[in-house]
Structure 1
Amino acid sequence: MEFGIFTVGDLTPDPTTGRTPTEAERIKSMVRIAEHTEQAGLDVLAVGEHHNPPFVAPGNPPVMLANIAARTTNLQLSTSTTLITTNDPVRIAEDYSMLQHLADGRVDLMMGRGNTGPVYPWFGYDIREGIDLAVEHYHLLRRLWREEIVNWSGKFRSPLQSFTSTPRPLDGVAPFVWHGSIRSPEIAEQAAFYGDGFFHNNIFWPLSHTAQMVNLYRRRFEHHGHGRADQAYVGLGGQVFMRENSQDAVREFRPYFDEAPVYGHGPSLEEFMRDTPLTVGSPQQVIERYATMADHVGDYQRQLFLIDHAGLPLKSVLEQIDILGEQVVPALRKEFAARRPEGVPDHAPTHAELVAEGPDSRHRLVVPARTVEDSTEKEEVTS
């Protein structure tokens, strides 16, 4: 089981002091968080992509991830998300192949459509074509990584003639890809069609909805012949804040929750903890809550936590990572290992494992249908 941290890079005032960090402070704090994530014994650090305030998360995540790669040894580097809709697939292919080389293969990506509507016209696209963009752009990206010479034409970018993306992927093997989606069955289908991973960032959603999306992906993964449904690659998002005494955790975190741009001035902290995976309390409460996630979605491979948000000071964030590394993650690793059925992977494929499989395993260069084929499955997942 892989555990890690993901950051969206929000630049938010600390509600207890009123101070907002500078952009330089926030960016450097994200690098420090990555270093500390590795030191604490966690596995993954994922960086988001935004192009607008109040975020400083890079519009070009490979720049930050390359810096982190130079400062770490074992940490798996990922994104949360790479905008497959508004980025040029040629640029994605080149940037992340370069990052692969710099990081000695410690790279995977999470493809997504983002949560900021205006980003589409900023880059010359129409948000109403978001699904079609995700399908076409990802199909082209796969070809750029897997074919030396690409001849291609499509709807959303200029044609390519005898084009070779450089540098080529490290060892001739593309990075492993997750497809991130909260409510679009078409994206779950896309992940299943290619045999890729599916990441449900369920930080704002009840587990009943998360289970529907993940189970849809699992069924379609098996339908497309990539293995049993329980062998599909699943990742989940999460949010926690911990102190040894649960009352202290609630008292300290409440002002950050109440004023957070993403959920402040809405449901109460207690309501949000009841209805979503947000867990504010003792380390044991977090262990007990997250140990049950597999009861809803099956045994999964990656759990990422959002820690550095809502204006929390860096000191508090690093303390949370220490608690995860010292108390929570070891207990969860043991819990998940004990229950995992034989033949179900405990992590996403590493670069070395993908090299051993060969570049053509589980790959079909055919554009999938936009919608799920089985109409009964369509009805099970609602927006």
Structure 2
Amino acid sequence: MQFGIFSIGDVTADPVTQGTRTEHERLKAMVATAVKAEEAGFDVFATGEHHNPPFVSSSPTTLLSHIAARTTRIILSTSTTLITTNDPVKIAEDYAVLQHLADGRLDLMMGRGNTGPVYPWFGKDIRQGIPLAVENYALLHQLWREDVVDWQGRFRTPLQGFTSTPRPLDGIPPFVWHGSVRSPEIAEQAAYYGDGFFANNLFGPKDHFQKLIGIYRARYAHYGHGTEEQAVVGVGGHVFLRPNSQDARREYRPYFDNSPVYGGGPSMEQYMAQTSLTVGSPQEVIDKTLTFRDHFGHYQRQLFNIDMAGLPLKTVLEQLDLLGEEVLPVLRKEMDSARPAHVPEAPTHASLLAQRTAGTEEPSK
């Protein structure tokens, strides 16, 4: 079971101090969070991709390359790579370079994002969001697996005898997750290729994500990649913790109430009852996270957001210490002891290389 941290890179005013970090400070804080996450025992650090204020996460490969140079063990990932508005050729090249520089400590999550205006900014039509996601990923998948590509589609110029460089490290493409909060078509896409499916269940009720994961698991088995239980699933979560729940809720409430995401809607308690948000003690975070397994089945990756809504870096680093010392050891023990032997771990570069060496790698679509 992999546990990780993801950041969306928002630049939000601190409602307690009324101060707002600069873009420079926010980027540096994301790097410090990733470095601390490795020290605290996390397996993954992921960043989103946004091209509009108030976000600074417009260039994930640049940010993750810098973090790769500052770390040695943690897997670097994206919590969204915009497969709709990025050129698949550039994705293939950029992430192959990053894969080499990080010595294989890389995977990525494809998504369509949540910002409608990004489509025309990059010359695309939002009404074609799903077809763009399907076609662009088909090309990316091919570029990483064939040395010479001839290709023609609807949304970009044809390719003739094209080779994407550099080739993936050891000839093994980065593992891909497909992230979705609403679209069964993306669950179908993940299942078709035998890729991972990530349900970013931050803002919706569990029943909605149960359906999406159920579709993915059934179609994964349909396409012959394994049983439904062997499908590769990841889920999100948002936590804020202190040694006791009263302090956690008192401290986090102004951040929740003034959040550009949460503020103005249901109360914090209502959100906690309906979504993955947990504000409380370490034991409450443990208990809530363990319910995800009951809702979604055995899964392979759990990512937490801990730095949204203007939280100061000092507080974020304290969260990582508490999670690493009091939450992760218990979750690892509980998740690993309950997982059946036939349910795999999340793929890594090392495990995929070992599969190929052993001759057990599944033929790609």
TM-score of the aligned structures, taking structure 1 as reference length: 0.93
* Cα distance in 2 between the residues matched to 1:362 and 1:303: 25
Q: Structure 2 regions of 5+ residues with no counterpart? A: none
* Cα distance in 2 between the residues matched to 1:105 and 1:314: 29
8 Å Cα contact 1:179/1:197 also seen in 2: yes
* Cα distance in 1 between the residues matched to 2:66 and 2:167: 21
Deviation track 1:7-49 (CA, whole Å, cap 9, x = no partner) reads 0000000000110000100000000000000000010000110
Give the match for residue 190 of structure 2: 191
For the residue of structure 2 that corresponds to 1:241, the secondary structure is strand
Give the match for residue 23 of structure 2: 23
Deviation track 1:339-363 (CA, whole Å, cap 9, x = no partner) reads 1112101x31110221233399445
Give the match for residue 112 of structure 2: 113
2:291 paired with 1:316: no
* Cα distance in 2 between the residues matched to 1:182 and 1:63: 26
Give the match for residue 86 of structure 1: 85
Residue type matched to 1:249 in 2? A
* Cα distance in 1 between the residues matched to 2:334 and 2:12: 35
* Cα distance in 1 between the residues matched to 2:253 and 2:279: 9
Residue-pair matches, total: 363
Give the match for residue 35 of structure 2: 35
For the residue of structure 1 that corresponds to 2:52, the secondary structure is coil
* Cα distance in 2 between the residues matched to 1:117 and 1:14: 26
Give the match for residue 350 of structure 1: 348
Deviation track 1:296-348 (CA, whole Å, cap 9, x = no partner) reads 11000000001011000001101111111101111011111121112101x31
Residue type matched to 2:279 in 1? V
* Cα distance in 2 between the residues matched to 1:253 and 1:60: 29
Residue type matched to 2:45 in 1? L
Residue type matched to 1:243 in 2? R
* Cα distance in 2 between the residues matched to 1:23 and 1:180: 26
* Cα distance in 2 between the residues matched to 1:291 and 1:134: 32
8 Å Cα contact 1:89/1:141 also seen in 2: yes
Q: For 1:41-52, what aligned pairs fall within 5 Å after superposition? A: 41-52=41-52
Deviating beyond 4 angstroms after TM superposition, the runs of 4 or more aligned structure 1 residues are: none
* Cα distance in 2 between the residues matched to 1:4 and 1:195: 22
Change (3 A) 1:363 1:204: farther
Change (3 A) 1:8 1:258: same
Residue type matched to 2:124 in 1? Y
Q: For 1:142-291, what aligned pairs fall within 5 Å after superposition? A: 142-291=141-290
Give the match for residue 68 of structure 2: 69
Residue type matched to 1:30 in 2? M
Residue type matched to 2:308 in 1? H
* Cα distance in 1 between the residues matched to 2:214 and 2:323: 28
Give the match for residue 300 of structure 2: 301
For the residue of structure 1 that corresponds to 2:237, the secondary structure is strand
Residue type matched to 2:135 in 1? E
For the residue of structure 2 that corresponds to 1:292, the secondary structure is helix
Give the match for residue 376 of structure 1: none
Change (3 A) 1:130 1:363: farther
* Cα distance in 2 between the residues matched to 1:273 and 1:15: 21
* Cα distance in 2 between the residues matched to 1:133 and 1:90: 14
Give the match for residue 380 of structure 1: none
8 Å Cα contact 1:194/1:362 also seen in 2: no
Deviation track 1:78-119 (CA, whole Å, cap 9, x = no partner) reads 001000000000000000000011000000000000000000
Residue type matched to 1:356 in 2? A
8 Å Cα contact 1:195/1:362 also seen in 2: no
Give the match for residue 14 of structure 2: 14
Residue type matched to 1:176 in 2? F
**How much has 1:286 moved relative to structure 2?**
0.7
* Cα distance in 2 between the residues matched to 1:233 and 1:132: 24
8 Å Cα contact 1:188/1:213 also seen in 2: yes
* Cα distance in 1 between the residues matched to 2:200 and 2:218: 19
Q: CA RMSD in A?
A: 1.1
Deviation track 1:41-92 (CA, whole Å, cap 9, x = no partner) reads 01000011000001011x2211100000000000000001000000000000
For the residue of structure 2 that corresponds to 1:303, the secondary structure is strand
Give the match for residue 53 of structure 1: 53
Deviation track 1:103-158 (CA, whole Å, cap 9, x = no partner) reads 00000000000000000011011111101000000000011111111111100001
For the residue of structure 2 that corresponds to 1:35, the secondary structure is helix
* Cα distance in 2 between the residues matched to 1:116 and 1:328: 33
**How much has 1:263 moved relative to structure 2?**
1.3
For the residue of structure 1 that corresponds to 2:187, the secondary structure is helix
Residue type matched to 1:43 in 2? D
* Cα distance in 1 between the residues matched to 2:115 and 2:334: 37
TM-score of the aligned structures, taking structure 2 as reference length: 0.98
Residue type matched to 2:232 in 1? Y
* Cα distance in 1 between the residues matched to 2:18 and 2:42: 31
